[in-house]
Chain A
């Protein structure tokens, strides 16, 4: 069927048709960008931390005794915590993925050179890798004679004296692309540090974009400040009990301390991404609302037009048009309007994306989102117009003989 009668008829409703085109194009532009944002945020939400998330619980301990020997204290605490039934391993650490406690250092490949690459330093007692369940894919774990204190009292000077490190795959690939990172020397502080191992994943305490999210170094540096985080690895079903017992055990051992943030890793993750989840649900609601309003607009307008053209439909039927022809007519009309909307909408989507890139550091909109947006709007349009179009097709030819 030729589209020319459809177009001819639309020119009689220029303003209304134009409004519908504007509405469809706005919806297209917003929904494409919103869909892209949803995808971006969902991928952030799914970032692997690298640790065995459903087996970890932790508690922060702040010692109030100033004369305490922190290293001795931590050792005693760890021994007591390890004795809790169901605990597989324990470590005292200074940072964890998503806990916001970020100590980042510039990583250079030569001494006294400023580097643009920064990586988080994760420090902890021996057994940290086993306790967190990190996957050592190359090299070896630290040996007990490699551990030295962080030296909190002297502005964490331990970083200048540590000899070895285990880095993430992401950092190794960035520093030594295409090379074997084992045995290579990096300078996170003043002194040279040799890479002895590589873990596949370990996210930083704050999320970063892309590969930077996993720029992390593990050092055999023992936390020796008043505050420390104890990480306990246990089985998923024992977590709540172990968490409760851990606080009791620590307070029984020495209650001259403040215990804070007892939580499972799952809780930590859920809290960290709470805002993202709110944002994703709001974006979903906005996209859904827009599509719904546009569908209702299309359906409403179509049903007005069907009522208005009842007589002409009757005449067409009387002179031989089938129900199918009438149905097709309205479907084609809708297709034309929505297509025009999509063309303008695509341009608008890119304009909007440019504005977002300027003000919100949003990446460039991939072309595929326009395709998905266009498809869903075509589908939506056809669905919305189906009801009124079917009603139009049901108009009997005899209407032609009646006055309106």
Chain B
């Protein structure tokens, strides 16, 4: 029976060829556009550190004066801290691990005469950075808290910069000249490149960039190295990097369970109170802890434009679906006479339903296949964009399955209503009017 219905379906579809092609095109375009954007958002919302993200938090303490209130309700939370607060929190060390950092871009000056100096991106961090984020080392290790305190001239390189400077050998123990200072290489990371680069300020470079060197923060500060990023000051008294009214550092803590997280929240509240007695932190005490994934969402790691593009694509798919429902309905109802004859000859409602359902499933399947191809094409065009996330836009098996599921669900839903409506045609009434 199934084969027969399939045959009937192809006959029927061939009879109105133009409409059939248009329906397949519409569902294909709708699914292609939606799946392209859903895939892009899916890969961008991924977890940069799947086995650790649940333990990593960003503390939010707000030292701004009350008057600096912004009116907009959609402001993204700001977690940059001042040098003073970063050093206090580091010193108190109430979390299992904690690290303060700032982004950097420094000239690297190779000793080889054939290499011109070049700029490289990196980070100024503190000792806990490496164990906390589980950075995989190819050789050597990070530095110690004592190195931090002594402003040691040490550096951890990432694989690419190590290769550029020392070839395939590890550069452990050798010297790298950054800006105007020599640093001893103590560790080489194994292509550590979490996407997005979650620990820094989230902006349009969160995807695609890599950090190639890591220096002790206190050392960089002592040497007066420039940092990259936002430097926000209020009040007056000089916009000094070590002053207590300029935020520019990022701070992360590791807390292995909810109890510890609560305890750390209490500690932050105490810290806030304590600072108030020193005339700082004039706003009401309200410390917050953001988990890594929540933090990324709050910082719009997926740009608003992309989210908008996804909703647009889904809206488009919706209109295409309604379009197909309408067309199929009109088509099936036009065949009321034929359906009535079949019913009069003994076909049950569910036979009719099956027959028409198969016809719409054929359209859905063809549309889904087309949609899959269009989604692959759409992702290819996304990969041609100059944005950092472009390279990530690949279809993974999950998304492939999801696309097919969406195609089937969409077409069955689109076919269900018309088929159901058509199998309720009253045969007697239809036959009589003929």
Contact partner, B327, options A13, A260, A301, A359, Cβ 8 Å? A301
26 of the cross-chain contacts (CB-CB < 8 Å) are: A15-B421, A16-B330, A16-B333, A23-B322, A26-B319, A26-B322, A27-B319, A62-B119, A64-B107, A64-B179, A112-B236, A114-B68, A155-B240, A156-B239, A157-B238, A279-B309, A290-B315, A293-B316, A297-B326, A297-B327, A300-B330, A304-B327, A304-B334, A359-B74, A359-B304, A360-B308
User: Quick check: is B305 within 8 A (CB to CB) of the other chain?
Assistant: yes
- CB of A7 closer than 8 Å to a CB of B: no
User: A335 in the interface, Cβ–Cβ < 8 Å?
Assistant: no
> What residues of A have a CB within 8 angstroms of the CB of B319 in the complex?
23, 26-27, 30, 290, 293-294
B386: CB under 8 A from chain A? yes
A303 surroundings in chain B (CB, below 8 A): 19
Stretch at the interface among A137-145, A281-289, A373-381: A281-289
What total count of A-B pairs have CB within 8 Å? 120
Chain A residues, CB < 8 A from B240: 155
| A278/B385 contact (C-beta < 8 A), A114-B235, A289-B316 known | yes
Asked if B22 is at the interface of the complex by the 8 Å CB criterion, the answer is yes
Question: How far is the CB of A268 from the nearest CB of chain B, in Å?
Answer: 14
Q: Is A180 positioned at the interface, with any CB of B under 8 Å from its CB?
A: no
Chain A residues closer than 8 Å to B312, beta-carbon distance: 30, 34, 282-283, 286
Name the residue in A20, A34, A289, A307 with the highest tally of chain B Cβ atoms < 10 Å from its Cβ.
A289
CB distance from B180 to the nearest CB of A (A): 5
Q: Which residue on A lies nearest to B240, using beta carbons?
A: A155
Q: Which 3 pairs, one residue from A and one from B, show the smallest C-beta to C-beta distance?
A: A19-B326, A304-B330, A297-B323
* Chain B nearest Cβ from A166, distance in angstroms: 23
* Contact in complex: A64, B117 (CB < 8 Å): yes
A326 to B156, CA, bound (A): 82
List A residues 308-366 near B (Cβ within 8 Å). Answer: 308, 359-361
Q: In whole angstroms, what is the CA distance A220 to B412 when docked?
A: 70
Residues of A within 8 A of B (CB): 13, 15-16, 19-20, 22-23, 26-27, 30, 34, 62, 64, 66, 112, 114, 153, 155-157, 190, 258, 260, 271, 274-275, 278-279, 282-283, 286, 289-290, 293-294, 296-297, 300-301, 303-305, 307-308, 359-361, 403-404
- Cβ contact within 8 Å between A286 and B334: no
Q: How far is the CB of A305 from chain B (nearest CB, A)?
A: 7
B341 to chain A, nearest CB (A): 13
B277 at the interface (CB under 8 A from A): no
Report the bound CA distance from A302 to B59 in whole Å: 62
- Is there a chain A Cβ closer than 8 Å to B167's Cβ? no
Whether the pair A300, B309 counts as a contact (CB closer than 8 A) is: no
Residues of A close to B280: CB separation below 8 A: none
- Contact of A190 with B304 in the complex, beta carbons under 8 Å: no
**Neighbouring A residues of B68 by C-beta, 8 Å:** 114
Task: Say what secondary structure dominates the interface of chain A.
Answer: helix
Set of chain A residues within 8 Å of B330, measured between Cβ atoms: 13, 16, 300-301, 304-305, 308
Q: Is the CB of A190 within 8 A of B109?
A: no
Whether A155 pairs with B323 at a CB distance below 8 angstroms is no
Closest CB-CB distance, A381 to chain B, in whole Å? 14
Interface centre among B119, B318, B323, B387 (most CB of A within 10 A): B323
B107 touching A258, Cβ below 8 Å: yes
Closest Cβ–Cβ distance, residue A148 to chain B (whole Å):
17
**Contact in complex: A64, B109 (CB < 8 Å):** yes
B322 touches A258 (CB 8 A): no
Across-interface contacts of A360 in B (CB, < 8 A): 304, 307-308
State whether B118 touches A258 (Cβ < 8 A). Answer: yes
Q: Mark B74-86, 1 if CB is under 8 A from A, else 0.
A: 1000000000000
B contact residues around A16 at 8 Å (CB): 326, 329-330, 333
Using Cβ atoms and an 8 Å threshold, which residues of chain B touch A13? 330, 333
**A267 vs B313: C-alpha distance in the bound complex, in angstroms?**
31
Q: Check: B434 CB closer than 8 A to any chain A CB.
A: yes
A290 CB contacts on chain B under 8 angstroms: 315-316, 319
Shortest Cβ distance from residue B208 to the other chain A in the assembled complex, whole angstroms: 14
The minimal Cβ–Cβ distance linking A70 to chain B, given in whole angstroms, is: 14
Q: Does B206 lie at the interface of the complex (its beta carbon under 8 Å from any beta carbon of A)?
A: no
List B residues 206-243 near A (Cβ within 8 Å). 224, 234-236, 238-241
* Cβ distance B129 to chain A, nearest Cβ, rounded Å: 26
Q: Return B225 CB to nearest CB of chain A, in Å.
A: 11
What's the least CB distance linking B252 to chain A, in Å?
A: 26
Q: In the complex the two chains form, is B241's CB within 8 Å of A155's CB?
A: yes
Evaluate contact between A296 and B326: CB separation under 8 angstroms: no
CB closest residue in chain B, given A160: B238
Given contacts A64-B109, A404-B434, contact A114 B65 (CB under 8 A): yes
**Are the C-beta atoms of B329 and A19 separated by less than 8 Å?**
yes
B337 pairs with A404, CB closer than 8 A:
yes
How far, in Å, is A191 (CB) from chain B's closest CB? 10
Partner of A300, one of B19, B72, B74, B304: B19
Tell me the nearest residue of chain B to A34, going by C-beta. Answer: B312
What CA separation (Å) do A193 and B243 show in the bound complex? 25
Contact residues in B for A283 (Cβ distance below 8 Å): 312
8 Å CB contact of B334 from A62, A282, A308? A308
CA distance A35 to B65 in the complex (A): 41
Roughly how many angstroms separate A258 CA and B116 CA in the complex, as a whole number? 8
State whether A23 and B236 are in contact (beta carbons under 8 Å apart), knowing that A289-B29, A307-B334 are contacts in the complex.
no
